[in-house]
Amino acid sequence: MGAFGQGSYVDEPPRGAYTGNAVNLLLSAVGKTLDGVHVLSYNAGTTYSVTTAYAAYKSLFSGKVTIGVEVPLEQSGDHFLTLAELKQDTAFVLNQTGDAGISLWALQKYNATFSAQTIAQQVCNDFNLGNCTKPLFPYGEHVEFI
């Protein structure tokens, strides 16, 4: 993860080739001009934690941090997002006083357990957006709730 590998997140899993790749940018003058940071998590695997990733980015960046959530099956192949996890992640984001959001990717995916539409409707309901039973996103791959 881009904000891991530094400070109290120096040994935070998951670790890989991109661990710490956002640290210098976020600490730079350019980083201070950003409106927000979008954390992609689709290859993070089972050790990834939304709350820890959010905290690591917020330790470097004072703006809005949007957490990415991939519709199952994830590309890493070793994690399968559940609606209970999604509800927990959404509750966490909603408790961050406007400094966080959730981004869903890729909405065209479908699996036997539930569809991207089911996930989008769950987040829509959790964010109290209304009209959540209608098809939310018939086109495209990505939507953000911020």
Q: Is residue 12 part of a domain?
A: no
Which domain covers residue 75, as residue numbers?
A: 27-145
Is it true that the peptide bond before 14 is cis, omega within 30 degrees of 0?
Answer: yes
Asked whether residue 107 carries a pLDDT value surpassing 70, the answer given is: no
Q: What is the pLDDT of residues 21-46, one digit of tens each?
A: 899 999 999 999 999 998 877 667 77
Q: Given this model, what pLDDT does residue 96 score?
A: 87
3-state secondary structure of 29: coil
Evaluate if pTM is beyond 0.85.
no
Selected residue with higher pLDDT from 45 and 84: 84
Spatial separation of the C-alpha atoms in residues 48 and 30, rounded to whole Å: 27
Q: Is residue 56 part of a domain?
A: yes
Q: Is residue 20 part of a domain?
A: no
Domain count along the chain: 1
